[in-house]
Structure 1
Amino acid sequence: MQDGAPARRVAVPLRISQRAATARAGASVKTLCGETMGTRWSVRLVVAESQDLASLDAEIASALDGVIAEMSTWEPGSAISRFNDAPGGTWHVLPANFYRVLEYALAVARDTEGAFDPTVGRLVALWGFGVGARGQGVPTPDDLSAARADCGWSRIELDKGRRAALQPGGVRLDLSSVAKGFAVDRVAAVVRESGVESFLVEIGGELRGEGVKPDGMPWWVALERPRGSVSGPAPIADIVVVLNGLSVATSGSAEHFYTIDGRTFSHTIDPRTGMPVAHDLVSVSVLHRECMHADALATALSVLGPDEGMAHALRLGLAARFVSTASGGYRERLTPQLAAMLA
Structure 2
Amino acid sequence: MIATYSGDTMGTSWSLQAVAARLSVVRGVQAALDRIVAQMSQWERESDLSRFNRAAPGAWHAIPNEFADVVDAALMIRRASDGAFDPCLGALTERWGFGARGSVDRVPQHADNGGDNRQIDFDPQNRRIRRSVDAFLDLSGIAKGYGVDLAAEWLLANGVRHFLLEVGGELRAEGIRPDGQPWWVDTEVPPSSSLAPWRMALHDSSAATSGNYRRGFTVDGRRYSHSFDPRTGQPIVNGVSSVTVLHRSCMIADGWATALTVLGPQAAISLADAQKLAVCVIVGDREYISRPWRDMLG
Bin of the TM-score, shorter chain as denominator length:
over 0.9
Is 1:310 the counterpart of 2:269? The answer is yes
Alignment of 1:175-214 (within 5 A): 175-214=139-178
Counterpart Cα distance in 2 of 1:100 and 1:52: 29
Is 1:114 the counterpart of 2:83? The answer is yes
Counterpart Cα distance in 2 of 1:306 and 1:133: 30
Q: 1:73 aligns to what?
A: 42
Structure 2 residue aligned with 1:39, among 9, 12, 15? 12
* Cα shift at 1:70: 0.6
* Cα shift at 1:134: 5.9
Q: Deviations over 1:120-158 (max 9, x none)?
A: 111112122122346132221xx1236x56862xx2112
Which amino acid in structure 2 is aligned with residue 320 of structure 1?
V
Structure 2 residue aligned with 1:53, among 23, 28, 33? 23
Counterpart Cα distance in 2 of 1:64 and 1:116: 23
Counterpart Cα distance in 1 of 2:218 and 2:161: 46
1:151/1:245 CA distance change after superposition, 3 Å: farther
Residues 112 and 300 in structure 1, CA contact (< 8 A), matched pair in contact too: yes
Residues 148 and 167 in structure 2, CA contact (< 8 A), matched pair in contact too: yes
Alignment of 1:124-135 (within 5 A): 124-133=93-102, 135=104
Structure 2 residue aligned with 1:277, among 224, 236, 250? 236
1:151/1:266 CA distance change after superposition, 3 Å: farther
Counterpart Cα distance in 2 of 1:61 and 1:306: 36
| Percent of residue pairs bearing the same amino acid type | 42
Which amino acid in structure 2 is aligned with residue 252 of structure 1?
G
TM-score scaled by length of structure 1: 0.83
Structure 1 gaps, min length 5: 1-27, 231-235
Counterpart Cα distance in 2 of 1:255 and 1:164: 33
| Corresponding residue SS for 2:52 | helix
Residues 81 and 259 in structure 2, CA contact (< 8 A), matched pair in contact too: yes
TM-score scaled by length of structure 2: 0.95
Which amino acid in structure 1 is aligned with residue 52 of structure 2?
F
Q: 1:20 aligns to what?
A: none
Counterpart Cα distance in 1 of 2:32 and 2:50: 19
Is 1:332 the counterpart of 2:291? The answer is no
Structure 2 gaps, min length 5: none
Residues 220 and 241 in structure 1, CA contact (< 8 A), matched pair in contact too: yes
* Cα shift at 1:262: 2.4
Counterpart Cα distance in 2 of 1:37 and 1:45: 22
Is 1:144 the counterpart of 2:108? The answer is no
| Corresponding residue SS for 2:260 | helix
| Corresponding residue SS for 1:312 | helix
| Corresponding residue SS for 1:139 | coil
Q: Deviations over 1:218-263 (max 9, x none)?
A: 2111001111422xxxxx2321111101100001212322222222
Residues 117 and 132 in structure 2, CA contact (< 8 A), matched pair in contact too: no
| Corresponding residue SS for 1:197 | coil
Which amino acid in structure 1 is aligned with residue 270 of structure 2?
A
- Larger relative contact order (C-alpha < 8 A, sep ≥ 6)? 1
Aligned-pair Cα RMSD in Å:
1.6
Structure 1 stretches of 4+ moved >6 Å: none
Residues 285 and 298 in structure 1, CA contact (< 8 A), matched pair in contact too: yes
Q: 1:226 aligns to what?
A: 190
Q: How many equivalent pairs are there?
A: 298
Counterpart Cα distance in 2 of 1:52 and 1:100: 29
Residues 240 and 265 in structure 2, CA contact (< 8 A), matched pair in contact too: yes
Which amino acid in structure 2 is aligned with residue 120 of structure 1?
L
Residues 126 and 133 in structure 1, CA contact (< 8 A), matched pair in contact too: no
Which amino acid in structure 2 is aligned with residue 121 of structure 1?
G
Structure 2 residue aligned with 1:261, among 211, 217, 220? 220
Counterpart Cα distance in 1 of 2:246 and 2:31: 27
Residues 117 and 133 in structure 2, CA contact (< 8 A), matched pair in contact too: no
* Cα shift at 1:282: 0.8
Is 1:165 the counterpart of 2:129? The answer is yes
Counterpart Cα distance in 1 of 2:243 and 2:117: 25
Which amino acid in structure 2 is aligned with residue 105 of structure 1?
A
* Cα shift at 1:113: 1.6
1:201/1:52 CA distance change after superposition, 3 Å: closer
The structure having more radius of gyration, on CA atoms, is 1
* Cα shift at 1:210: 1.0
Is 1:86 the counterpart of 2:45? The answer is no
Residues 209 and 244 in structure 2, CA contact (< 8 A), matched pair in contact too: yes
Which amino acid in structure 2 is aligned with residue 145 of structure 1?
D
1:252/1:151 CA distance change after superposition, 3 Å: farther
Is 1:238 the counterpart of 2:197? The answer is yes
Q: 2:64 aligns to what?
A: 95
